[in-house]
A and B are shown apart, each in its own frame.
Chain A
Amino acid sequence: MRVKIEPRLDVPRWMPFASIFGALVVALLLGAILLAYGGLDPVTAYWQMLRVGFLEPYSFSDTMVKATPLILAGLGVAVAFKMRLWNIGAEGQLFLGAWATAGVALFWLPPTTPKPIMLAVMTLAGFVAGAVWGAIPGVLKAKLGVNEIISSLMLTYVAIQYNNYFVYGPWAAGGFGLTAPFPKTAWFPRLTDYGNAIPALRGLTAHMGIVYGIIAAVVLYVIFKYSKWGYELKVIGDNPNAARYAGMNLSRNIILTMVISGGLAGLAGMSELAGAVHRLQENFSPGYGFTAIIVAWLGRLNPLGIIIVGYLFGGLLVAGDVIQPAGIPLMIQGIILFCVISADTFTRYRIRIVRAAPVTATAAEV
């Protein structure tokens, strides 16, 4: 008896969904084994995570806060991935967006600037800074054929160190790797701000960034589905030679895509600062830009899917803040991605168990 792996010729429609679901189950089981090995009761741990991340009165709001940067950066990653442009430097683009946001809020505009103007300029600055950081690998790829995977990843480390230079150097407040807090005019409206009028909102920290996320998702959905540009992305992603033959400008599209991709990641950084952190600091992102890659992929590059997956991963991060040891949700994240990617194998191949003597067979056996 032996196991044989054969490519599937046609994939049933339900297969991708079944594979994701199966992967989640397997991931949770694997996670349970590791939890038990670490001396924790898996059932209690999972229940805790579920409760803290999704079921408590505050869960929705807290999870939203974590989901917001994941969704924005995830959408950015998805734009590039749609064209099979592997921008994995969303983290760096997010840091640059955050840096520019802090510059506007603290130094380049007076704190007395009216809130709408302040936030609008911060938004613009965050997008542009992320876009510039995304455009660098884009231009290198378009002009010189430099592999964007490497350049975008390497630029992430540059961005993080650039940020560190500012928070420890020129912008430091006391030398602790953080700037002074933003003036109130540079804060996104939060639910809790309306707590006086509606007591139920008191203490809820979900902020306006999620509105950015939802708008961006809807816009991207429309672009992917109905626009000429979305069509070009699809064709270039599938067959660049056909795209060139059809007269599409690949270089321009590569740069444009990286600009938008980076811009959205920059917005994620902007929104995180204006909505949650309210200052620039070292390591303000627990790897949102990297988790965004997982989010985009699990959401199958579908903007609406990314919102859902972003929310679920946001919940995992929230749970991480209360579960000890704190690494567990992150570990589970990793296991989930690992399982989902592995499960893709089952959609592309089928696995048969063959009994001995495979040489002789009858027509009935299929």
Chain B
Amino acid sequence: MSESQFAFEMRGITKRFPGVLANDNVDFAVREGEIHALLGENGAGKSTLMNMLNGLYRPDEGQIFIKDQAVRFSSPREAINHGIGMVHQHFMLVPTQSVAENLILGQSAPRFYINYSELEAQVAELSEKFGLAVDPRAKIWQLSVGEQQRVEVLKMLYQGAKILIMDEPTAVLTPQEVTDLFDTLRSMTASGHTIVFISHKLDEVVAIADRVTVLQRGRVTATVEGKDTTKAELARLMVGREVLFRIQKAPAQPGAEALVIENISCENDRGLPALRNLSLTVRAGEVVGIAGVAGNGQTELAEVIAGLRAATEGRVIVQGQEVTGKRVAAGEQSEASKGGSWDIQVSLDIGDSSINLSKGDERPEKQAAPIMVSEGLAYIPADRTGVGSSPNLSLIDNLILKAYRRPPIGKGWRIDLSLAREQAEKLVEQFNVMTPNVDTPARLLSGGNLQKLILAREISSRPKVIIAVYPVRGLDVGAIEAIHQMLIDERNRGTAILLISEDLDELLSLSDRIVVVFEGQIMGEVPPEDERVDEIGLMMAGTRVEAVHAS
């Protein structure tokens, strides 16, 4: 293949951030019309490299060529003008506007009058052509995450992208949506588009990529043909060692009932039933995995247990104590009145309303007031940056997010800053969080390190019950292993763990029991054995365990 058949080429790219060498003399060339996977651990420099191609960052050294011509972008707009579009992990859409409106966002045409019917027809045509089913008139907030991703892809296509960079596109998708996405990607390459597929999921890379370039610590370790490679080889190239795919663990020794969920029902954000009369028990020292296609009530279940969502019916019992509807106000008030110098006036009863401070959104939320994240319950939320951490605050501040309230960190009305710093330094080291120092804002951590930080915080509170929602989503193999080991260590220490995941391999490897949910109900329970996967699959699709066995 001659040079000119490269859709683009990056030569000798180096990019430094304060204290980090993100890309070190990287050469990366992608042929026209191929799906090229960019594989690497978290923090290997994949996103950084692609953000330079997309004009978001500028390389410190090195050059980018498109069809043998050197280019230099200082904004994504310039990149799109050269036919390069990127779909980020975090979507850049306006929730209150329609799909069609989002597509013309930032475009110079139309200048004044928007012919909606024509625009919608164009969108529909594009959708049809590439199998990106989405209603052009739907508002973004009404769409599922998978649909929103399709809108992002449509947006790039509409703006004329010939080279599409997808940053971890499958991280947020259900298995069915992944299949659809892959079909779309193939039809795009068939019509001459070029795809860069950033991922660290080996299965997917092997399934979809024509070629694979592997990054390790900012350097390219190899570029291989997709069809010639194996998962084991890629894993070795990625982490520099053979990866253990299954965690080693002794049989569980379940103790007393630590978490009991009795006939819980609740609604989702749109006010539709999310859980229907669901009951579940997790014992001390066992991992119960919840399997299911995303959107079948898993996140709502976790939120109800953690007290972030109101249950319409039923009870949640942690360590023999009912915590359903227990509000933070009660717990905090007594704490504050012990030593609170500022707690002077408010005797106003705070009712069931709560408030969303997020920018531009003044609607009160449908969910209930914050409820006490009761003692002994740790919750690892699915959304690490949006819920699990405070991005602009330091690691110290993030690590005391729960502990600030009680001794030894919280002393009367004040916080023991030196103890907080000391403990933060200890935790960062113990949990192997890679960071320049503990004063670094959390937003500068990579996904894996941020998740380690959150786990460090949750585990250091010595919980009796841990609710972990997609704990390794979007993480690299090394971080996954570390986090799985942390969870198993906790189990062995006698903690009850409820694991919610869409990754069957993860569930099979970690769980002692697997419970499958579908539309907010439990379809049945299965032991975590590889040969039961088909059974789990059937239940995930809505077949009850009895029916599975009957057939």
Contact = CB atoms under 8 A, between A and B. Distances in A.
A223 interface: yes
Contacts of A238: 390-393
A252 B351 CA distance: 10
A247 interface: yes
B397 A231 contact: yes
B421 interface: no
Nearest to B59: A363
Nearest to A260: B342
Given A6-B74, A6-B75, A256-B346, A239 B391 contact: yes
Contacts of A85: 357
A234 interface: yes
B390 A228 contact: no
B486 interface: no
B397 A249 contact: no
A202 interface: no
Nearest to B457: A246
Interface in B80-105: none
A145 B362 contact: yes
A231 B69 contact: no
B387 A363 contact: no
A255 B356 CA distance: 14
B61 interface: yes
B393 A235 contact: yes
Interface in B39-63: 57-58, 60-63
B71 interface: yes
A245 B387 CA distance: 7
B301 to A, nearest CB: 16
B28 interface: no
B17 A246 contact: no
Contacts of A229: 340, 342, 413
Contact of A227 (B12, B342, B351, B400): B342
Given A6-B74, A235-B397, A245 B379 contact: yes
B439 interface: no
B18 interface: yes
A84 B270 CA distance: 27
B201 to A, nearest CB: 27
A142 B12 contact: no
B386 A241 contact: yes
A142 B345 CA distance: 16
Contacts of B331: 247
A225 B58 CA distance: 37
Contacts of B307: 247
Contacts of A84: 357
Nearest to A241: B387
Contacts of B370: 244, 247-250
A317 B336 CA distance: 42
Nearest to B329: A249
Contacts of A363: 12, 61-63
Given A131-B345, A247-B372, A144 B353 contact: yes
Interface in B300-335: 306-308, 327-329, 331-332
A247 B389 contact: no
Nearest to A229: B342
Interface stretch (B157-165, B175-183, B402-410, B501-509): B402-410
Contacts of B69: 359-360
Nearest to A234: B393
A250 B57 CA distance: 37
Contacts of A242: 386-390, 401
A231 to B, nearest CB: 5
Contact of A366 (B60, B345, B371, B415): B60
A227 B409 CA distance: 11
A360 B68 CA distance: 11
A141 B417 CA distance: 32
Contacts of A366: 58, 60
A86 to B, nearest CB: 11
Nearest to B392: A238
B353 A143 contact: yes
A226 interface: yes
B381 interface: yes
A133 to B, nearest CB: 14
Contacts of B340: 229
A122 interface: no
A227 B362 contact: no
Given A227-B415, A249-B329, A361 B70 contact: yes
A245 B414 contact: no
Interface string B329-363: 10110001000101001101011011111100011
B488 interface: no
Contact of A251 (B12, B354, B373): B354
A196 B119 CA distance: 83
A128 B453 CA distance: 43
Contact of A248 (B328, B346, B386, B387): B328
A305 interface: no
The 4 closest A-B pairs by CB, nearest first: A145-B364, A240-B357, A361-B72, A239-B390
20 contacts: A6-B58, A9-B57, A131-B345, A139-B348, A142-B353, A145-B356, A226-B415, A227-B414, A228-B336, A228-B405, A231-B400, A234-B397, A246-B401, A247-B328, A247-B373, A248-B332, A249-B329, A250-B354, A251-B350, A256-B346
